[in-house]
Amino acid sequence: MDAEAQDRFREFVENRSSALLRTAVLLSGGDRHAAEDLLQNALVKAADRWHRIDEPEAYVRQILYRQQISRWRLKWRRRELTVAEPPETGASPDAAPDAELRLLMRGALARLTARQRMVLVLRYFEDLPEADVARVLGCSVGTVRSTTHRSLARLRALAPELAALGPAEIESQPSRDFSPVEVRP
């Protein structure tokens, strides 16, 4: 990487790292430290291929998602299975104000599997169409839909207060594909 390329890289990181870090934090379930590691690794990879990347942000995002898939596949699976019990709560479902609901939701999102969380981040934070989410995850649109279904169901199981909420748009549609998410290596 020559001096000019380094300057362009620095400029890119300065301008876009805040946005990228936000996504990384969400993918990491709110763990800022893990998010910085995730983003740092993605940026190192981007720097390695800097002169051949046309759209750095798209490339870094893709790496973020891929890394998170790898982490899920290779390391986090066991850990996530051990925290599967829903939390004990005694609050009345319909008494919780919005702010409290958002906090409950945040806690529940952190307890999803990385795969479930990623689907929700891509759909509801990045606002990607289902077809694009499928491309990112390397699976079918049907799998994206079924994973979204199951992720929302899991959130309700983790935080029963959410039961008072209306169903998501996607939940009113039948899910036809219940195959597990296929991931490209």
Partner 1 sequence: MNVDELVRDSLRELADEQTSAGPGFADRVLVVRRRRRTRRIASVAAATAAVVAIGVAVPLLDSGKEDVRPADVVQKSKDVAHPDQSPPRDLISAGNTVLAAYYVPRTVKHSANRAERVRDYWLLDQKTEKYVKTTKWSYVAVAPGMKTAAVLERNLPASRIGMLDLATGKVARWIEVDHDVAGLSFSRDGLKLVATTYGGNPDQLVKTEGSDFWDQQQPSTRTGFYVLDTVSGQGSWSEVKLTSDPNDPMGDSFINARQDFALSPDGRHVWAGNPMGDIGKQFYDLSGAEVEVPANQKHLEWYVDAWQSPSGRLVAGGFAGKKWKTSSWVVDARTGRQTEVHGQQLLAWVDDSSLIAWDIAPNGKNEFHQRLVKVTIGSDKTVPLSGFRKGNDGDAGRWEPVFAER
Q: Where do contacts with partner 1 occur on this chain (CB under 8 A)?
A: 1-3, 6, 9-10, 12-14, 17-18, 21-23, 25-26, 30, 32, 36-37, 39-41, 43-44, 47-48, 67, 70-71, 74-75, 98, 101-102, 105-106, 109, 120-121, 124-125, 152, 155-156, 162, 165-171
Least gap, CB of 34 to partner 1 (angstroms): 9
CB of 13 to partner 1, least distance (A): 4
Q: Cα separations (Å) of 89 from 39, 93, 96, 106, 161?
A: 34, 10, 12, 15, 8
- How many residues are there in the chain? 185
Contact 133, 144 (CB under 8 A): yes
Nearest approach in angstroms of CB 42 to partner 1 is 9
Closest distance to partner 1 from the beta carbon of 175 (Å) = 15
**Whose Cβ is closer to partner 1: residue 4's or residue 88's?**
4
**Cβ within 8 Å of residue 28, ≥6 positions away:** 34, 35, 38, 68
Nearer of residues 84 and 102 to partner 1, judged by Cβ: 102
Sign of CA dihedral 165, 90, 100, 113: negative
- Other C-beta atoms lying within 10 Å of the C-beta of residue 157: 15
Q: Which is nearer to partner 1, 110 or 141 (CB)?
A: 110
Residue 130 phi/psi, 5-degree rounding, is: -55, -40
The residue among 57 and 171 lying less far from partner 1, judged by its C-beta, is 171
What is the closest distance, in whole angstroms, from the C-beta atom of residue 143 to partner 1 in the complex?
18
**Residue tagged 């805040």 (tokens):** 18
